[in-house]
Structure 1
Amino acid sequence: MKDKKLLTSFVYVVVGSVLFAFAVNMFIVPLNLFNGGVVGIAQLIRTMLVETLHLDIKFDIAGIINSLLNLPLFLMAYKSLSKHFFLLTLTSVVTQTIAFTLIPIMPIVPDVLTSVIIGGLIGGFGIGLTLQHGGSGGGTDILGVYMAIKSPKFSVGKLSIGVNALIYIICALKFELSTAIYSIIYAVIFGMVVDKVHTQNIVMSAMIFTRNKAVKKAILHEMTRGVTCWEGKGAYTDTETDILMTVISKYEVNHLHDLVLGLDPKAFIILSEGMQVTGNYERRLL
């Protein structure tokens, strides 16, 4: 079962990485715009090398430069984060490198604003999918995931937007101002979609009404989530009921649902999304 789940994760990571490379090569690079993060830095280096050395290269070397820049971050991921995360992130970056090289750079949508919106949606969905299934797109995603674990107020998308601000200041100084402006629009849309798809960043509260005393122990030990409980009474049946309260990520909803209903098919569950949590709440990866 675990092997099947791991294989599924690898498939989603590959698909997400290809979608990201597709968005960049089809919607961003053809319009001389720049991605954010380490990929954006790689694109800047590529542009400067081509202009300075007058290189005539038939494929985009930004993917190769991106891989080289990711090497020290891979070391951090290997030492600080899980082996599962490291392997999936390595898969993502290798896939990106191949996809950046093989996918032709050609404009699909001539309108710049439309192109950055579509590119941000597709690229953000691709990286969000990669994060959701336990990996990352490399670069600032590794730092973002690491910081998201350490701080409950942090997210991958927020770090992406922050780093991108520096990159686009360079773009504004070196290239036309419009290049930076449209690239920023792309980055903001990209970051918002990443956080929306990356469900570990979406916090939910769950209120559970059950008569089975084993439910709270299962949440504590199998999901390792804290539970607050108190006794209640049904107004119609006048029978005693345990009322349980816990906080989980959106990704854990199905696990909670199966766990609770497996023990008590008559349990009643209320879920609430988009809340803020202050205190001892742990963000997790797969």
Structure 2
Amino acid sequence: MLTCQRRVWCFFLTIGWGGEPVNNVIVIFLASVLVAFAYNMFLLPHNILSSGVSGIAMMIGLKTPLNTGVVNLVLNLPLFIIGFMKLGKRFMINTLFSVAVTSVALILIPISPISKDPILSSVFGGVLAGIAGGLIFRFSASAGGFDIIGLLLTRKKEFPLGNLLFMMNSAVIFVSGFLFSWDAALYTMLSMFATGKVIDTIHTRHLKVTLMIVTSQGDEIKNALFSKLVRGITVVDGEGAYTKEKRKVLFTTISRYELAEVKRLIKEADPKAFVNITETIEVLGYFRRE
């Protein structure tokens, strides 16, 4: 009976919707609720706005009787269409789920300040929103709005996503200054800066590393990497200066996201392989960014 239950549990953990693992769905759900919590408990009580479309929805919600969650969902709909065409069905289904959860949570969670200090609220609210946003990005989704535009731009050129979103959202800061106060605009800038830095700490897809692998099992490691990655590998012959033993030296450049999996594959193929991992400043020429 226990074995049967474990099989059923494993089955649901792997299917999700459309092949999406349930643990990914859970992380996206919790992170989306955390976004709404940061907004309603830290930012909105002090007229501190969020970024992009969410910030615009906040401004409309604060200046009109309309609910911020409803406005956030409506404003995101046109961007979903672009996302489905450019970013893929699976990503956009996850994004739609994230935006829907955030919008519902914004309705259900009361706007109640945890701190009376706007500076503390802007920092902690920005950090919480950054943690949530970084996790949402990491698990193949986004919070919608400018995030979709930012992801489209980063696919064309490598750039820290958090910094890009911060620059794109500068307009929201200036508009909030005219609508509310310039103190609120500066608090908003502080919140956005904190959010962007935390996102770049968690979302590291723009970071690249280069591996030099010295091994006596060159073919095994090469085949193992090819079985899981779509990356080019350069293989050269090497010789130990002291031992004179022949070795294969493999060079490859991967994204930071892939590093943990690559290290596992190398260890399984050759536990004695020497691996030197260096950060890559820039990659020129073709590099698969998907």
Same-fold status (TM-score > 0.5): yes
Is contact 2:211–2:275 with CA below 8 Å preserved after alignment?
yes
After the TM superposition, which parts of structure 1 deviate over 6 Å for at least 4 consecutive aligned residues? none
**Which residue of the partner structure matches residue 39 of structure 1?**
54
1:131 pairs with one of 122, 130, 137 = 137
Name the residue aligned to 1:180: 185
Aligned partners of 1:149 and 1:282 also within 8 Å: no
Correspondence for 2:171 among 159, 166, 171: 166
Return the match for 2:42 from 13, 27, 32: 27
* Structure 2 residue identity aligned to 1:271: I
> What is aligned with 1:52?
none
Report the counterpart of residue 70 of structure 2 in structure 1: 64
Contact residue 120 and residue 187 of structure 1 kept, 8 A: yes
2:97 paired with 1:88: no
> Using the alignment, how far apart are the partners of 1:23 and 1:279 within structure 2?
41
Aligned to 1:102: 108
- Find the aligned partners of 1:137 and 1:218 in 2 and give their Cα distance: 35
Contact 1:12 1:130 (C-alpha < 8 Å) held by counterparts: yes
Match in the other structure for 2:32: 17
Return the letter of the residue paired with 1:38: V
Work out which structure has the larger RCO, using CA pairs closer than 8 Å and 6 or more positions apart in sequence: 1
Query: Does structure 1 residue 228 correspond to structure 2 residue 243?
Result: no
Gaps of 5+ in 2: 1-12
TM-score, structure 1 as length reference: 0.89
How far does the alpha carbon of each residue in 1:239-280 deviate from its partner, in whole angstroms, 9 at most, with x for none?
Answer: 112222212122111211122222222222222346332332
- AA in 2 matched with 1:100: L
Give the conservation status (yes or no) of the 8 Å contact 2:53–2:146. Answer: yes
Measure, in 2, the Cα distance between the counterparts of 1:257 and 1:283. 20
Work out the CA distance in 2 between the residues paired with 1:9 and 1:273: 28
Structure 1: gaps (5+ residues): 50-54
Identity of matched residues, %: 34
Aligned residues: 274
| Distance in 2 (alpha carbons) for counterparts of 1:257 and 1:170 | 47
Deviations 1:180-202 (A, max 9, x none): 01100110110111121112122
| Counterpart residue number, 1:8 | 23
- Corresponding residue for residue 203 of structure 1: 208
Aligned 8 A contact 1:41 1:167 in 2: yes
RMSD over aligned Cα, in angstroms? 1.9
- SS of residue paired to 2:21: helix
**Aligned 8 A contact 1:140 1:159 in 2:** no
What is aligned with 2:284?
Answer: 278
Per the alignment, residue 273 of structure 2 pairs with 267
| Worse-superposed segment, 199-208 or 88-97 | 199-208
Give the TM-score of the pair, scaled to structure 2. Answer: 0.88
SS in 1 for 2:49: coil
